[in-house]
Chain A
Amino acid sequence: MAASYSSWGLVRQATVGHGSWPRAWRAAAAKPSYRVVIVGGGGHGIATAYYLAKEHGITDVAVLEKGWIGGGNTGRNTTVVRSNYLRPESAAFYDFSLRLYERLTAELNFNIMFSRRGLTTLLHSPHAVNAAWGQLNTLHLNGIDAEILSREELQRRVPLLNFAPDARFPIHGAIVQPRAGVVRHDAVVWGYARGADARGVDIVQNCEVTGIEARDGRVNGVHTRQGFIAASQVVMAVAGSSSLVAATAGIRLPIMTYPLQAMVTEPIKPCLDTVVLSPATGSYVSQSDRGELVIGGGLDRYPSYAQRGSIAVTASTVAGLLEIFPSFSRLKLMRQWAGMVDIIADSSPILGFAPVRGMFINAGWGTGGFKAIPAGGWTTAWSIAHQREHPMIAPFSLGRFARGALIDEAAAAVIAH
């Protein structure tokens, strides 16, 4: 087991000049075979490994990562976690995820800095207010917390919002999920990695999987840049590259890969205490603990694997932000980047066994995979351990497309992120 992290440990290490901190996770080399190989060392892949080891005692597991762990969308998102989903299937899943997040710092002995500061979705018209009541009632029936704020109450909580009478997007109030918040994204993947490693999972970085080997409809293992690795169970958790990896096993997915941008301003003193989303402008913003404003918006509207976005979308995201926060105009953009996200017609993920036996697909998270990491990993691990899909994820199987039983969260209005 890894050394326990604590303030006392920090003091003790300080007395020895920080010379004996143990590795957070080993630099494992891949063995020739494993019971379970997880392709992709992002949040979902590493969380799956962690829960396999912790909940099910399955430790003959390797996580194969082509670069550095957490280097995909886990390390590129805007760190919002929430569970305000309207379809009961989604609500159950994402709220389970949020509840796992709430206790993750203690469980992992690693501070993921879950800051419960609420997601505040602005309502820009009387019709939006009416629609918000529908959302609120639905959320309550799904067991999800939600409240509607009047314009006055919102003005008290977020005074910098544009309450001007001539605002292009007048503000009539907001619908809030108080339990939503932000989480330090890197910490999630590092914390899970440390926990998985301590239980014997091999985390192998710089080990790109070039193909999933399947014969007679059953998985044998994976080909990697470091050679063939045999496995009877292969989990694919490679958001952004899902179609490419699945294709090596002969599977087509209902996914298109799009760039999603995010950006931060220079750090400033605290001025925003919640996550604010404006559906009408397509922009959302929160302030990191470092003081940067973390800004996100809509997709670049063309498929791409280039991990970069168009400056036109950067500009329109910023313009949308300034409509709701005009006083941010003089702040400066410090860093902008993009991730590649799996987009599916019904804005819901694919979680379930593939048509190829022994292969499990964890994909299609759209712009909101980060918040799903704990539940995605937990249910994937459960399904592998029990060799059947966990009931919570049954609606998210690949088979829903043939049945036409889409779980249409796109119908549920707000921007998913």
Chain B
Amino acid sequence: MQNSHRLESGGCIDRTKLLSFRFDGRRLSGFQGDTLASALLANGIKVVGRSFKLHRPRGITGLGEEDTGGLVQLIDDARSTPNVRATQTELVEGLVARSVNCWPGPRWDLAGGLSLLSRFLPAGFYYKTFKWPSWHFYEPLIRRLAGLGRAPDGPDPDRYEREYLHCEVLVVGGGTAGMTAAAAAAARGADVILVEQNRVSPACGGAYPRSSSPSLRIFEFACAFGYYEDNLVAVSRRARGGRIAERLCLIRAHEVVLATGAIERPMIFPGNDRPGVMLASAARGYLERYGVVPGRRAALVTNNDDAYDTAVHLQRAGVSVAAIIDSRDTPASDAARSAAAAGIAVHTGSSILGTSGWHALRSITVARRGESRGRRIDCDLLCTSGGWAPTLHLYSQSGGKLAFDEALGAFVPGEATQRVRAVGRAQGATLPRTGGNTWSGDVGAWTERARRHAFVDLMSDVAVTDIAVAAQEGYVSVEHLKRYTTLGMSPDQGKTSNLNGLALLAAFTGRSPGAVGNTKFRPPYVPVTLGAFAGRARGILFSKVRRLPTHAVQDESGARMMELSGWLRPAHYAAKGSLSSTEAEVLAVRHRVGLMDYSPIGKIEISGTDAARFLERIYAAPVASLPVGRARYGLMLNENGVIVDDGIVARLAERRFFLTVTSGHAELMVDWLEEWQQCAWPDLDVVITPLTTHLAALLVSGPLARTVLSALKLDLPLDAGRFPHMAVREGALDGVPVRVLRTGFSGEVSFEIYLPWRHGATLWREIRGAGAAYELELFGTDAMLMLRLEKGFIHVGLDTDSTTVPDDIDMGRLHQRKSESFIGMQALARPHSKAAERLQLVGFEPVGSGDTLAEGAQVPCSHGAGRQGSITSSGVSPTLNRPIAIGMLTSGRSRYGEIVPVHHDGRRSRARVRAPCFVDPNNERLRDAG
């Protein structure tokens, strides 16, 4: 029956706005202002889902995040979400929810029979069983029984955002204490933010001091979930409507006020997990906030006076209260009086021996202490109140100490380590005292059946017997208890169970709960959507991709773009004729001329009176001796002597150098240079200017490169006499300043033209125009890698690794003739760095079949496991029309001519070792007469 459990009036719901929703296929209705939980209760729905381990029926037990039974799957096409808390879900028109962890439904669940086996499934049973024949035999079934909701399988249509905020006072919690603290702080002019995870103050009360101060910002549906260093509090703000579903706010506050309230503890008795058993605070909350009576006939079980109020409230709302069961012998006189006045029977010194009902609660059995048989009392709602515990998760995360308060039976805030204080119920002082344990009598003397049916953690199905077994087996550290029994490991993270669990552990081990201690409170306080953590950091905002200055014109040239070291670059262009695109591009460079956008190359300018001295220390190659206008290949090493980068160092002027570094290291090498300059050599007068994204670089390479460039309005002589190999010139091209470097990474005469980024595309077009008559080809990174492979030039990080020293690639001569100290020098002097059996760069040619050697193929050791070398770069040379490769081989340089086995994908072939340079070994093509 629709809204069968709704009062005629009362609550902060808007009764004029009827909302319809579906739960497990049933069409139901609620009102604006309801949560899904209150609407379910209003419709008399008791069984909402099934528990994690034993698949026992579960119902709503709480009002908010402490609830242990109201997890549902929200169904909304792509917005379907598993494990949503019914207590924290606002009811909206058309909402569709389904119960989790049961099939076909929560009332009839195929796996429900597990509950009958509970006596064979105590804490940690899986460590003792499922060993034969192997875990894999059981694992698939166990995995299917575990888990709760189902993960969506499509992309998330929602958007998320990150927000950074600052304030003087951050108040967490929008109850009376929080609102009062916030208003007071705002009144003295402080900049205040108040966050409340649901709604601030149900308007029906209306008693909260609402500040109209402009310095007070109130965020509703904002849950503070993490407390980090220096008063940084992480808050998840759920939006209601709008384009952003959830925001992750990082709020930095001068002072934090925690008005996080307190959570009621349930009493522990056999059958306490039956739907219909609910925290007293929750029952009262549903009544006051939503006008919902969670039952027609109620009983209360408690160890404190606070619950008596709830009984009176329920009675006034028309719920018949059958009994108050108080574990104490003498409740406070005024509490007893109020119960008597309301005509409620009070059973003191009593406890509940059991509950009954098919799924949901129908009756309880009550007995006085010492009695083994009790009286049956019919009720469909049992409110449980074992006292209150301040909510100190954030306080603890802040580094604040917790102290155990015996009178409260809970932890209260101790010494703080940050500027934070707890107020109101979170502070603990105003909470009602309890009359001892949340269980009755000597729990050690309970029967096994009673222990097994008395639950501590309703989500994880941890019962008293599990705590007893853990204690008995020596899992007596509170962290061992948690891990062995899974206490507090479920989505509620033990909000109502951790304290009861450790109190029981204390009882079983003869310690005080304070001595047992608490498990560490870890963020987040409530589960937070993964998407909110990522925010907008998705796709290219998660990891950038850079574009060439010629990006816009690459498409029209048929470029096949590929990401390389964070840049989108043409791997190759469209194929022409019978040759593959890469073959055609390589042959064009070898025989005519090619053009490449080379802009990703790292570019750094070094100037200052000590520029030469500085670079002499940086490079494992002589630099100071470099004449103005000339360039040199150099290696940079780390302090361990290992090659970290290679490139060209060019001297533009006496005190001005231009360096190129590998594109993937462009930023890293600037950091590296700055670190040495600032930290080790602050006395050197050097200025380091990163230019990578400031200068475009176009590479024109091939025997006709000079001819093509001559057609441009470049004010530089290009003939070999005045612009020899490894020289640098500065000039202007049609009025635009350029610097031109003549190099030969491809093995052909090459000019690298550097000019301001915005002119890159224009020059690209001009060179293409000028080159048309000479059949200029555009070439991509694949061709570039092949051109340098034919020359046997290394690619740092591909052919070398983090053990390679200069001599390994036959570049030892670069530093051997240096007289000045350089980074890595000491390490190169170690015997290990000079050992004869080091891996050295060599060339490889296939023997026999003539098939290309695979990149990544390995040269196995002649004895035993492991390898003595590897093929690091390989391919069919278009220039030579046969397969070539380079790689590293133990003592490789002394083994030219040797034939070695090569292993790839389980197959063996053979290769001949040779020098790594395959084309023009004497570099005659570079020193052209021009």
The residues of A with any CB-CB pair to B shorter than 8 Å are 5-7, 9-11, 13-14, 17-19, 21-27, 67-68, 71, 75, 88, 91-92, 105-106, 109-111, 113-116, 125-127, 130-138, 140-143, 159-160, 168-169, 184, 186-187, 190-191, 205, 265-271, 280-281, 287, 289-291, 308, 310-311, 314-316, 318-323, 326-337, 345, 403-406, 408, 410-411
Task: Give the number of residues in B that approach A within 8 Å (Cβ atoms).
Answer: 112
Chain A residues whose CB sits within 8 angstroms of the CB of B243 once the complex forms:
none
A409 CB to closest chain B CB (Å) equals 10
**Given A291-B148, A330-B156, does the pair A320, B542 have CB atoms closer than 8 Å?**
yes
Are A133 and B903 neighbours in the complex by a CB distance under 8 Å? no
Are B870 and A269 neighbours in the complex by a CB distance under 8 Å? no
**Given A137-B858, A142-B865, A318-B530, does the pair A111, B542 have CB atoms closer than 8 Å?**
no
Are A322 and B802 neighbours in the complex by a CB distance under 8 Å? no
Chain A residues whose CB sits within 8 angstroms of the CB of B529 once the complex forms:
329-333
Chain A residues whose CB sits within 8 angstroms of the CB of B140 once the complex forms:
270
Question: Which B621-654 residues have C-beta < 8 A from chain A?
Answer: 640-641
Asked whether any CB of chain A lies closer than 8 Å to the CB of B26, the reply is no
Query: What residue in chain B is nearest A186 (Cβ atoms)?
Result: B483
B905 CB to closest chain A CB (Å) equals 7
How many pairs of A and B residues are in contact by the CB < 8 Å rule?
310
Among A9, A11, A266, A310, chain B packs the most CB atoms within 10 A around the CB of A266
Are A270 and B143 neighbours in the complex by a CB distance under 8 Å? yes
Are B491 and A113 neighbours in the complex by a CB distance under 8 Å? no
In the assembled complex, the Cα of A408 lies from the Cα of B906 at a distance in Å of 25
A65 CB to closest chain B CB (Å) equals 10
Query: What residue in chain A is nearest B140 (Cβ atoms)?
Result: A270
Are A168 and B905 neighbours in the complex by a CB distance under 8 Å? no
In the assembled complex, the Cα of A265 lies from the Cα of B491 at a distance in Å of 9
3 tightest Cβ-Cβ pairs between the two chains A and B: A17-B448, A291-B147, A134-B856
Are A141 and B533 neighbours in the complex by a CB distance under 8 Å? no
**6 further contact pairs, Cβ within 8 A, besides A5-B127, A311-B250:** A13-B122, A18-B468, A110-B128, A268-B147, A327-B156, A334-B527
Asked whether any CB of chain A lies closer than 8 Å to the CB of B860, the reply is yes
Query: What residue in chain B is nearest A142 (Cβ atoms)?
Result: B865
Are B905 and A137 neighbours in the complex by a CB distance under 8 Å? yes
Chain A residues whose CB sits within 8 angstroms of the CB of B81 once the complex forms:
330
**Given A142-B866, A332-B530, A333-B528, does the pair A23, B522 have CB atoms closer than 8 Å?**
no
A-B contact pairs, 11 of them (CB 8 A): A9-B128, A18-B465, A111-B127, A126-B562, A131-B856, A137-B857, A141-B858, A168-B539, A168-B543, A331-B530, A336-B523
**Given A21-B472, A133-B854, A319-B542, does the pair A330, B147 have CB atoms closer than 8 Å?**
no
**Given A67-B477, A133-B905, A403-B830, does the pair A266, B135 have CB atoms closer than 8 Å?**
no
In the assembled complex, the Cα of A290 lies from the Cα of B228 at a distance in Å of 29
| Chain A interface mostly | mixed
Are A141 and B151 neighbours in the complex by a CB distance under 8 Å? no
- Interface membership of chain B positions 319-335, coded 1 if the CB is closer than 8 angstroms to chain A and 0 otherwise: 00000000000000000
In the assembled complex, the Cα of A270 lies from the Cα of B856 at a distance in Å of 36
Are A10 and B530 neighbours in the complex by a CB distance under 8 Å? no
Are B154 and A327 neighbours in the complex by a CB distance under 8 Å? yes
Query: What residue in chain B is nearest A133 (Cβ atoms)?
Result: B856
Are A323 and B522 neighbours in the complex by a CB distance under 8 Å? no
Query: Which of A5, A27, A133, A138 is within 8 Å of B129, CB to CB?
Result: A5
Query: What residue in chain A is nearest B119 (Cβ atoms)?
Result: A14
Are B151 and A408 neighbours in the complex by a CB distance under 8 Å? no
**Given A10-B128, A143-B865, A333-B530, does the pair A323, B539 have CB atoms closer than 8 Å?**
yes
The residues of B with any CB-CB pair to A shorter than 8 Å are 52, 79-83, 119-120, 122, 125-131, 134-136, 139-140, 142-144, 146-156, 158, 162, 226, 228, 232, 234, 248, 250, 447-448, 451, 465, 468-469, 472-477, 479-480, 483-484, 486, 489-491, 493, 520, 522-524, 527-531, 533-535, 537-540, 542-543, 545, 562-564, 640-641, 801-803, 827, 830-833, 854-858, 860-861, 865-867, 870, 872, 903-906
Are A329 and B531 neighbours in the complex by a CB distance under 8 Å? yes
In the assembled complex, the Cα of A14 lies from the Cα of B449 at a distance in Å of 10
Are B472 and A267 neighbours in the complex by a CB distance under 8 Å? no
Query: Which of A7, A134, A345, A410 is within 8 Å of B870, CB to CB?
Result: A134
Chain A residues whose CB sits within 8 angstroms of the CB of B523 once the complex forms:
311, 335-336
Chain A residues whose CB sits within 8 angstroms of the CB of B528 once the complex forms:
332-333
Chain A residues whose CB sits within 8 angstroms of the CB of B134 once the complex forms:
105
Query: Which of B142, B530, B857 is within 8 Å of A330, CB to CB?
Result: B530
In the assembled complex, the Cα of A336 lies from the Cα of B228 at a distance in Å of 13
Are B803 and A6 neighbours in the complex by a CB distance under 8 Å? no
Query: Which of B131, B535, B858 is within 8 Å of A106, CB to CB?
Result: B131
In the assembled complex, the Cα of A265 lies from the Cα of B531 at a distance in Å of 12
**Given A137-B903, A138-B867, A291-B143, does the pair A314, B533 have CB atoms closer than 8 Å?**
yes
**Given A18-B469, A314-B533, does the pair A88, B865 have CB atoms closer than 8 Å?**
yes
In the assembled complex, the Cα of A266 lies from the Cα of B25 at a distance in Å of 25
Are B472 and A23 neighbours in the complex by a CB distance under 8 Å? yes
Are A111 and B135 neighbours in the complex by a CB distance under 8 Å? yes
A28 CB to closest chain B CB (Å) equals 11
In the assembled complex, the Cα of A329 lies from the Cα of B537 at a distance in Å of 12
Are A268 and B149 neighbours in the complex by a CB distance under 8 Å? yes
Query: Which of B491, B534, B830, B870 is within 8 Å of A322, CB to CB?
Result: B534
Are A114 and B135 neighbours in the complex by a CB distance under 8 Å? yes
**Given A7-B129, A323-B538, does the pair A19, B865 have CB atoms closer than 8 Å?**
no
Chain A residues whose CB sits within 8 angstroms of the CB of B129 once the complex forms:
5-7, 10, 111
Query: Which of A75, A111, A310 is within 8 Å of B131, CB to CB?
Result: A111
Are B527 and A266 neighbours in the complex by a CB distance under 8 Å? yes
A113 CB to closest chain B CB (Å) equals 5
Are B146 and A291 neighbours in the complex by a CB distance under 8 Å? yes
In the assembled complex, the Cα of A372 lies from the Cα of B563 at a distance in Å of 36
Are A186 and B537 neighbours in the complex by a CB distance under 8 Å? no
Are A337 and B522 neighbours in the complex by a CB distance under 8 Å? yes
Query: Which of B146, B228, B535 is within 8 Å of A267, CB to CB?
Result: B146
Query: What residue in chain A is nearest B528 (Cβ atoms)?
Result: A333
Are A330 and B855 neighbours in the complex by a CB distance under 8 Å? no
Chain A residues whose CB sits within 8 angstroms of the CB of B135 once the complex forms:
105, 111, 113-115
A333 CB to closest chain B CB (Å) equals 5
Chain A residues whose CB sits within 8 angstroms of the CB of B226 once the complex forms:
311
A230 CB to closest chain B CB (Å) equals 27
Chain B residues whose CB sits within 8 angstroms of the CB of A105 once the complex forms:
131, 134-135
In the assembled complex, the Cα of A314 lies from the Cα of B903 at a distance in Å of 42
Chain A residues whose CB sits within 8 angstroms of the CB of B905 once the complex forms:
133, 136-137
Query: Which of A67, A136, A322 is within 8 Å of B530, CB to CB?
Result: A322
**Given A315-B533, A327-B154, does the pair A111, B130 have CB atoms closer than 8 Å?**
yes
In the assembled complex, the Cα of A169 lies from the Cα of B144 at a distance in Å of 31
**Given A140-B906, A333-B530, A406-B803, does the pair A268, B148 have CB atoms closer than 8 Å?**
yes
Are B79 and A330 neighbours in the complex by a CB distance under 8 Å? yes
Are A25 and B147 neighbours in the complex by a CB distance under 8 Å? no
A259 CB to closest chain B CB (Å) equals 12
In the assembled complex, the Cα of A266 lies from the Cα of B526 at a distance in Å of 10
Query: Which of B146, B447, B535, B856 is within 8 Å of A290, CB to CB?
Result: B146
Chain A residues whose CB sits within 8 angstroms of the CB of B451 once the complex forms:
17
Chain B residues whose CB sits within 8 angstroms of the CB of A5 once the complex forms:
127-129, 131
Chain B residues whose CB sits within 8 angstroms of the CB of A404 once the complex forms:
640-641, 827, 830, 832-833
Are A68 and B479 neighbours in the complex by a CB distance under 8 Å? yes
Query: Which of A109, A169, A318 is within 8 Å of B534, CB to CB?
Result: A318
Chain A residues whose CB sits within 8 angstroms of the CB of B144 once the complex forms:
269-270
In the assembled complex, the Cα of A169 lies from the Cα of B469 at a distance in Å of 49
Query: What residue in chain B is nearest A144 (Cβ atoms)?
Result: B865
Chain B residues whose CB sits within 8 angstroms of the CB of A88 once the complex forms:
865-867
Query: What residue in chain A is nearest B74 (Cβ atoms)?
Result: A330
Are B530 and A329 neighbours in the complex by a CB distance under 8 Å? yes
Chain A residues whose CB sits within 8 angstroms of the CB of B465 once the complex forms:
17-18
In the assembled complex, the Cα of A94 lies from the Cα of B127 at a distance in Å of 25
Are B156 and A321 neighbours in the complex by a CB distance under 8 Å? no
A413 CB to closest chain B CB (Å) equals 9
Query: What residue in chain A is nearest B472 (Cβ atoms)?
Result: A21
Chain B residues whose CB sits within 8 angstroms of the CB of A331 once the complex forms:
82, 151, 529-530
